[in-house]
Amino acid sequence: MFKRVKLYVLLIFILSVAFLPNLQHVFANIEKPTFTQSLNQILMEEPDLKGAIVGISIRSADTGEILYDHLGDIRLRPASNLKLLTAAVALSVLGENYRFTTEVLTDGLVKKNTLEGNLFLKGKGDPTLLKADFEKIALEIKKSGIKKINGNLIGDDTWYDDVRYSTDLAWSDEQTYYGAQISALTASPTTDYDSGSVMVEIEPGAGKGDQAEVNVTPNTDFVKIINHTKTVPEDGKKEIVIEREHAKNTIIIDGTLPIKSKSEKEWIGVWDATRYALSLFKQALADQGIQVTGKMKTAKTPDESLLLHSHESIPLSELLIPFMKLSNNGHAETLVKEMGKVVKGEGSWEKGLEVMETELTKFGIVTDTLSLRDGSGISQANLVPANQISQLLYAVRNQTWFPSFLNSLPFAGEPNKMIGGSLRNRMKDPSMKGKIKAKTGTITSVSSLSGYVETKSGQTLIFSIVLNNLLDEKKGKRIEDKIVTTLANQ
């Protein structure tokens, strides 16, 4: 009996040695945490998530299979991750090559270099019009032989409805560039294309006690600057406050700026975006020596008017770069209205959002789970589950326009603003370069990040992280980066 036991022990030992490599492999897998365990640990240990709601959805980019789900079907406020939906639907409905047009028309006739009648500037939603574009249009009018307009200069913004702000926009956002008025006729200060706004730049004065120098782009008298600033010594406090009076274009600047310090820049939304664009056009006409005898007005262009000139915007594929990289709210809301106009004949939020809901079903989105209030995500009443965002990101990979969509996303750690966008200062480790392409999102108490990550093992994962009820959105971004870095290291 004793010999038999010894024989059994010897046999077990021999088998253990024979299968040791396999057993070591099993134990190694048990000891090494999966990304599920790692993500669960992050959620449990992060003190800044205490009291918050966390929606996370991770999918395989190849199969669409959900690999990790934490409250993925719970409706949460997506902030600017909603722009992923808006961009995808705009590409699907309007197409990569879609361009906005701006027209110049007249209801009169030209006699001996004088236009006897009104000149109409008809906007059709172009958010990229710069002062330079108005100058080009004015030059074309001059080339046509017109030196004098014996009539009124009229801006036509009736391509869209007259509702200038989305339903839930906070009153305090009215003066901001991200809360600027949405009009079919508008203008932008720079090639960031923050339509409906001006850029205010403040530089320290020449000496202590001097007012700071203020410059406005574009150079226009449409806004009035009241300068209460003071230049202080180099070790003085840098504190500048810029406010625009409600329903006016009076911008008041207060505060101090140390001598030799860097300039401060702020983009301010104007009141009456239509007249803002029209005033730039009138200025451009004057610069070309074209006199306008009548008044500056807004009205609808008569149907029988004669087209004198048509200006086209950059294509949608190019507009997506500042729209998505810089998270431009104005572009999102303009696209919603444009889709409403093109598909349903009405440029309104109501009709545009109807188009979005219909189109989203084509990507496998269950629209009954959504609450869409705008196209930008600025509303606190927008609600989208993380699983629906990841589903969209999976479905669009099969579209012909997907390269334009993917290229529009911010690339983590890329310092160039038009490549890295809102992720240019995040996840900057060289090993992560080019691995993460995702859309950021931030509103009060909300932070979100959704997109694509290439892992060390060569997989592409789709992720959507939506954090709600945060006390500090910046800390939410740190957690998002931690989660995505964990995925990238798989």
pLDDT, tens digit, 9 for 90 and up, residues 160-212: 999 999 999 999 999 999 999 999 999 999 999 999 999 999 999 999 999 99
Residue 334, token pair as written in the block: 């303009």
- Residues contacting residue 404 through CB under 8 Å, at least 6 positions apart: 91, 96, 316, 317, 320
42-83 pLDDT tens trace = 999 999 999 999 999 999 999 999 999 999 999 999 999 999
- Given 291, 312, 333, the domain boundary residue is 312
Residue 369, token pair as written in the block: 């789970």
C-alpha dist (Å) from residue 277 to 24, 195, 398? 72, 10, 39
Active site residues: 80, 83, 327
Domain containing residue 43: 35-97+316-488
Same domain as 236, residue 140: no
For range 317-329, the mean pLDDT: 98
* Band of pLDDT at residue 399, cut at 50, 70 and 90: very high
The per-residue pLDDT for 11 is 42
**pLDDT above 70 (res 376):** yes
- Is residue 168 situated within a structural domain? no
* Residue 386 CA, distance from chain mean position: 19
- Is residue 387 situated within a structural domain? yes
**pLDDT above 60 (res 5):** no
Contact 395, 363 (CB under 8 A): yes
- Is residue 428 situated within a structural domain? yes
- In the chain, the percentage of residues whose pLDDT exceeds 70 is 93
Euclidean distance between CA atoms 468 and 450, whole angstroms: 14
Half-sphere exposure of 169 (CA within 13 A, CB side): 24
* Band of pLDDT at residue 33, cut at 50, 70 and 90: low
Q: What is the domain-level CATH number for residue 481?
A: 3.40.710.10
The per-residue pLDDT for 459 is 95
* Band of pLDDT at residue 24, cut at 50, 70 and 90: very low
For range 125-139, the mean pLDDT: 98
The per-residue pLDDT for 1 is 43
- Is residue 171 situated within a structural domain? no
Same domain as 86, residue 40: yes
Same domain as 210, residue 118: no
Same domain as 78, residue 124: no
The per-residue pLDDT for 9 is 40
- Is residue 189 situated within a structural domain? no
Same domain as 293, residue 220: no
The pTM for the full model equals 0.92
- Is residue 109 situated within a structural domain? yes
330-362 pLDDT tens trace = 999 999 999 999 999 999 999 999 999 999 999
Contact 339, 316 (CB under 8 A): no
* Band of pLDDT at residue 279, cut at 50, 70 and 90: very high
Contact 264, 204 (CB under 8 A): no
Same domain as 352, residue 211: no
The per-residue pLDDT for 7 is 41
Same domain as 351, residue 278: no
Same domain as 350, residue 305: no
SS (H, E, C) the chain: CHHHHHHHHHHHHHHHHHCHHHHHHHHHHHHCCCHHHHHHHHHHHCHHHCCCEEEEEEEECCCCCEEEEECCCCEECCHHHHHHHHHHHHHHHCCCCCCCEEEEEECCEEECCEEECCEEEEECCCCCCCHHHHHHHHHHHHHCCCCEECCCEEEECCCCCCCCCCCCCCHHHCCEHHHCCCCCCCCCCCCCCCCCEEEEEEECCCCCCCCCEEEEECCCCCCEEEEEEEEECCCCCCEEEEEECCCCCEEEEEEEEECCCCCEEEEEECCCHHHHHHHHHHHHHHHCCCEECCCEEECCCCCCCEEEEEEECCCHHHHHHHHHHCCCHHHHHHHHHHHHHHHHCCCCHHHHHHHHHHHHHHHCCCHHHCECCCCCCCCCCCEEEHHHHHHHHHHHHHCCCHHHHHHHCCECCCCCHHHHHHHCCCCCCHHHCCCEEEEEEEECCEEEEEEEEECCCCCEEEEEEEEECCCCHHHHHHHHHHHHHHHHCC
Q: What is the domain-level CATH number for residue 138?
A: 3.50.80.20
The per-residue pLDDT for 32 is 39
The per-residue pLDDT for 242 is 96
**pLDDT above 90 (res 16):** no
- Given 286, 312, 338, the domain boundary residue is 312
Q: What is the mean pLDDT of the chain?
A: 93
The per-residue pLDDT for 81 is 98
Residue 24 main-chain phi, psi, to 5 deg: -60, -40
Same domain as 62, residue 48: yes
Comparison of pLDDT for 377 and 33, the residue scoring more: 377
The per-residue pLDDT for 21 is 36
The per-residue pLDDT for 353 is 98
- Is residue 338 situated within a structural domain? yes
Same domain as 339, residue 451: yes
Query: In degrees to the nearest 10, what's the CA dihedral of 468, 473, 477, 479?
Result: -60
**pLDDT above 80 (res 28):** no
Q: Cα(first)–Cα(last) distance of the chain, in Å?
A: 52
Q: Are strands 153-156 and 119-123 parallel, antiparallel or unpaired?
A: parallel
**pLDDT above 50 (res 271):** yes
Euclidean distance between CA atoms 256 and 266, whole angstroms: 15
The structural domain count of the chain equals 3
* Band of pLDDT at residue 34, cut at 50, 70 and 90: confident
Same domain as 429, residue 297: no
- Is residue 347 situated within a structural domain? yes
228-270 pLDDT tens trace = 999 999 999 999 999 999 999 999 999 999 999 999 999 999 9
Same domain as 434, residue 417: yes
C-alpha dist (Å) from residue 187 to 123, 475, 490? 10, 35, 46
